[in-house]
Amino acid sequence: MELKSRHYAAPDVDAAMELCSAKGWTDGLPVVPPTEARISAMLAAAGLEPDLEIAFIENRQVSVTAEKVAINAVLAGCKPEYMPVVIAAVEALADPLYGYHGPATSTGGSAVFMVVNGPIARELDINCGDNLFGPGWRANATIGRAVRLVMRNTIGTLPGVLDRSSLGHGGKYSFCIAENEAESPWPPLHVARGLKREQNAVTIMAALAPHQYTNGLSSTPEGILTTACANMRICAGTGRHPQYALVFAGEHMATMAKAGWTREDVQRYCFEHTRISTAELKRINLQDGAVAPGDETEMHTLVEVPQDFLVIAAGGNAGVQSAYIPGWGSKSGSQSVTREIRRP
């Protein structure tokens, strides 16, 4: 298998790591030197030729080849068996629904949030439980990191240059989880989005940081969701978030299951109870002008339709915490995209 990328010589591993850093190919953390053998192993695991185009980023006029994805997967510390997941996520980046240019370059500071579904999530030990958004799982950390390094090194999305994020957040290093399909009260996310349970898939969303909320008092879905909606409501009507991910951990998930609430029940409840009035938006300086007659009854929804809430079961079984993750952009902006993960 012939690789076309430029070759560099280094006397040892330490020198190779420093070369990668000096060339600006890292996210600030040490990387694995991408040797020809390691790159070839990545490509073989996905059954791909080096020059196959995986994605074309229209706004940047950049072609992302399998070889470039493999190099960045090696840099990130991926095992070869992770490569098909990374490939599917990079494919999704180029989908017009995702709209790469906006979330990648905005001052708003989004990251690529990834949810992996299907048997592959369990085979690769992608964490869906305790410390869900934290460290400790190689698959979560390196798959998410590989996608960000592709954005940086191949597409040119560099902080302060094309990535104009004012604040950013930790998800820009890695923002990858699996869904807890075994204990979820709902069909898996990828099934809700049109795939079969036995298929493997990754869903990506341009997302802000996760917001954790706590409710240890309520024994009903309505009680838990009242807390969630109160936390989310301030964003309603600002035109900033096209979708939200709602991540329910163990105890809250069990409450939903006991009550027999479907994913659609959760979506409808949150849609109705995150409405906010024009008057309130003006009072908290999210809309301009003085409160006028009719502003108290003119209501705004958080998202366009109930289905814009992506309901996900994941997180530790102990504790009464769950989270919501705002999507990036206006209501007609970046949308989540699901891609099947294909293996040779």
Query: For each of the chain's 344 residues, which pLDDT tens digit applies?
Result: 789 999 999 999 999 999 999 999 999 999 999 999 999 999 999 999 999 999 999 989 999 999 999 999 999 999 999 999 999 999 999 999 999 999 999 998 899 999 999 999 999 999 999 999 999 999 999 999 999 999 999 999 999 999 999 999 999 999 999 999 999 999 999 999 999 999 999 999 999 999 999 999 999 999 999 999 999 987 766 656 799 999 999 999 999 999 999 999 999 999 999 999 999 999 999 889 999 999 999 999 999 999 999 999 999 999 999 999 999 987 667 999 999 999 99
Domains of the chain are 10-207 (no CATH), 209-326 (3.30.2320)
Provide the pLDDT for residue 1.
Answer: 75
The HSE-up count of residue 194 (CA atoms within 13 Å, CB side) is: 5
The model carries a pTM of 0.96
Alpha-carbon distance of 205 to 103, in angstroms, equals 10
Provide the pLDDT for residue 109.
Answer: 87
Provide the pLDDT for residue 89.
Answer: 98
Provide the pLDDT for residue 241.
Answer: 74
Asked if 162 and 104 touch (Cβ cutoff 8 Å), the reply is: yes
Residue 33 tokens read as 């030197």
Asked if 93 and 204 touch (Cβ cutoff 8 Å), the reply is: yes
Provide the pLDDT for residue 330.
Answer: 72
Region for residue 326 given its phi and psi (left: phi exceeds 0; alpha: psi -120 to 50; beta: otherwise): beta
